[in-house]
Amino acid sequence: MRRADKRKFYAGFQTAMNKFIVSTSHLESYGSEADGRVHMDMISNLAEAFTAIRNGLSELMLTGPKNIRDQAENAVSILQSYSLAVEMGDQSEDKSSEFLRLRDRLYEAMRADLERSQEGCVGGGPGPESNSQIDCLWER
């Protein structure tokens, strides 16, 4: 995948992640006080944001460079657990901080991938720090 395409995908993923954070914050802050319909709207917004992130993670697990694939695989269970906890009204700081650490690790891996993709794959083989042909295919 070309660097410009990666940046576009990563930016879209970051937008989905931000929407998820806003949705969880609203539900945590106002969900218990909201009437039934408003509460259900908040849960619907959370589900929509969760789906966008889950779709992005699925794509990263399938096609991303190894370090990003690994982070995406770790993210799936953490994201599911955190989303369920928020929906059920559990405002566990442990889950929140774990989710934020996950987000930061993913962003760090994405930034490193963008920096690495400036070098590109040489001779059609995997670039430096690569563990498979998929890493090079992601570069194109």
For residues 131 and 66, is the Cβ–Cβ distance under 8 A?
yes
Residue 119 is predicted with a pLDDT of 67
pLDDT, one tens digit per residue, over 76-134 is 888 888 878 777 776 555 567 888 888 899 999 999 999 987 766 543 334 444 444 44
Residue 95 is predicted with a pLDDT of 67
SS3 content of the chain, % helix, strand, coil (to 5): 80, 0, 20
Return the DSSP state at 91: -
Cβ burial, residue 62 (10 Å; 0-12/13-18/19+): exposed
pTM: 0.73
How far apart CA 60 and CA 54 sit, in angstroms, is: 10
